[in-house]
Amino acid sequence: MSLHHSVTNAGNRTSLNRAVPQTDVSCRKCGARKETLAHILGECIHTKAAVIRRHTEIRDLIMDKIMSNDKTAEVTKEPELQSEKGKLKPDLVVKNQSGVFVVDVTVRYEDGEYLKLAMKEKKDKYGLLLSAMQRERNVPTAEVLPIVVGTRGGHAG
């Protein structure tokens, strides 16, 4: 709980502006946007490499767990799939005896309904693929499994 508290109260310019008015609240690193915790943790070009690394670590952890728990599962990493709206590239496609599953990780800032919105976005985006994938792979079910993680450790529930 204290870690969450300290991250929430990090000294970004927008937060500091409430106590001591700042003449410039733009990001000290990129200058492109207002410096907020959401910008620092998910949008700033100077933290982009860390954001991608965090996403990749989560994806790889999930892939390793799937493969160790289900030896019969076929796991494809970042396949390019054609939909009616163009090419899509989910993080993982998993096929086992139960069905085929599109697994896609996203790391989002936790504010209001952002995490639930991310779940819906992923289901809508990849839902277009399900009937064709189920038919092509001759499995009983097809499902989108979004993995939505908050930048401060929260998750959609």
This prediction has a pTM of 0.78
Cα(118)–Cα(134) distance, rounded to whole angstroms? 24
Give the tokens for residue 55: 């996403």
CB atoms within 10 A of CB 107: 17
Contacts of 134 (CB under 8 A, 6+ apart): 99, 100, 140, 141, 142
Stretch among 34-38, 67-71, 96-100 having the lowest mean pLDDT: 34-38
Please report the pLDDT score of residue 2 as a whole number.
Answer: 35
Backbone angles phi, psi at 136, to 5 degrees: -65, -35
Domain ranges in the chain? 51-150
Residue 114 has pLDDT above 90, yes or no: no
Give the angle 89-129-69 at the CA atoms, nearest 5°.
Answer: 70
The hierarchical CATH code for the domain 51-150 is 3.40.1350
